[in-house]
Amino acid sequence: MNRPEIHVEVAPALHLFVPAARRAGITPLGTDGVSTLGHVIESLGVPLTEVGALVVDGREVPVSHIPQAGETVRVRPVERPQRVPGAPLRFLLDVHLGTLARRLRLLGVDAAYESTDIGDPALATRSAAEKRVMLSRDRGLLRRRELFAGAFVYSTRPDDQLRDILDRFAPDLAPWTRCTACNGLLRQATKDEVADQLKGGTQRSYDVFAQCTRCGRAYWKGAHHDQLEAIVERALADRS
C-alpha cells in the first residue's frame, strides 16, 4: 500500500539538520499516517527545540498534528528573542561547553555546567528538576522528552556561541556578579578576608576584591582582566 505523501519545506536556518536534498524548497515526504508531525520533523533530523511555528496549508498547527496526504508543511525556526515561560531564565550546559559556561557567568547569567560526562539521562533530569534550558550540540540529548527546555549550540567557536545564545534568549546581564568557576554569586570582600588566596605581589598591588559566596574563590582585576573586560564590552555593545 502506498504511504501518504506530504510536502515539507524546512526554513534555511534549519538546513544544517537535514540532508542536502531537503534544502531545495518544498520536497515530498512519505508518512505512515499515524505519526505526529513532531515525530516526522524529528525523523528528518531537526530537534524540536529548534522548531518554531509549524504551518500546514497556511494554518499553524501543534506538534501533535497528524499530517494527512497532500498537506504542505512549512517548518520555521524559533522566533528571537525566544521566551521560556514558567521559570527564571537559567541554563544548563553539557560537558563540551565549558568556555561558553564561563563567559555566560562572567556576564552574570545563571549557567550551571557539568565538567564531567554524567550522561544524557542525568542531564535531562537536572534540566527538568531545576527548570533550566539545556544547551548542547548533542541532538540526541535535545530530543529527550523530560527536558524542561533546550537549545542547540550552532557554532564551535566560543565567541559565536556566546553571541548566538545572547541573541536567542536575551537574558538579563549583570557582569562581574557570578563566580566563573562554580556559578555562585559574588560579594565584595576585604583583603584580609581573602588573604590566604593571595601571593605577595597581589597582596601589594590590589585592594579591591570579590569573593564567591558558594565556593569562596577570590577575584581581583589581575593580568587577564582586560581580556575579560573586552568580552563584557562586546556583549553589552551588541545588546545596545
What span, in angstroms and rounded, lies between the C-alpha atoms of 209 and 139? 41
Per-residue confidence (pLDDT) for residue 199, from 0 to 100:
86
Start and end residues for every CATH 3.10.20.30 domain found in the chain = 5-77
Tens digit of pLDDT for each residue in 185-210?
A: 999 999 999 999 998 878 888 999 99
Q: What is the per-residue pLDDT across 18-34, written as a single tens digit (0 to 9) for each?
A: 999 999 999 999 999 99
User: How far, in whole angstroms, is CA 50 from its chain's centroid?
Assistant: 11
Mean pLDDT to the nearest integer, 86-94: 94
CA distance 223 to 185: 22
The beta strands (E) that lie in 78-222 are given as 91-93, 111-113, 133-136, 149-152, 186-189, 209-212, 218-219
Helices marked H in the chain:
37-43, 98-106, 120-130, 139-142, 158-169, 200-205, 225-239
Output the pLDDT for position 46: 97
Distance from C-alpha of 110 to C-alpha of 104, rounded to nearest angstrom: 7
Chain segment 221-236, per-residue pLDDT in tens: 987 899 999 999 999 9
pLDDT-derived band of residue 114, with 50, 70 and 90 as boundaries?
A: confident
Q: For residues 128 and 147, is the Cβ–Cβ distance under 8 A?
A: yes
- 240 near 234, Cβ under 8 Å? no
Confidence band, pLDDT 50/70/90 cuts, at residue 39: very high
**Is the Cα torsion angle 38, 40, 41, 42 positive or negative in sign?**
positive
pLDDT in tens, 144-156: 999 999 999 999 9
Q: What is the mean pLDDT of residues 88-105?
A: 97
Look at residue 239 in the predicted model and tell me its pLDDT. Answer: 87
Mention every residue, 6+ apart, whose C-beta is less than 8 A from residue 65: 36, 37, 54, 56
Of 156, 72, 162, nearest to 109 by C-alpha is 162
Query: Residue 61's Cα: distance from chain center in Å?
Result: 25
Q: Quick check: 64 pLDDT over 80? A: yes
Phi, psi of 54, deg, nearest 5? -110, 115
Chain-wide mean pLDDT for the chain?
95
Using DSSP's 3-state secondary structure scheme, residue 204 falls into helix
pLDDT score recorded for residue 1: 52
Task: Confirm if 42 and 26 have CB atoms less than 8 A apart.
Answer: no
Classify domain 5-77 at the CATH class level: alpha beta
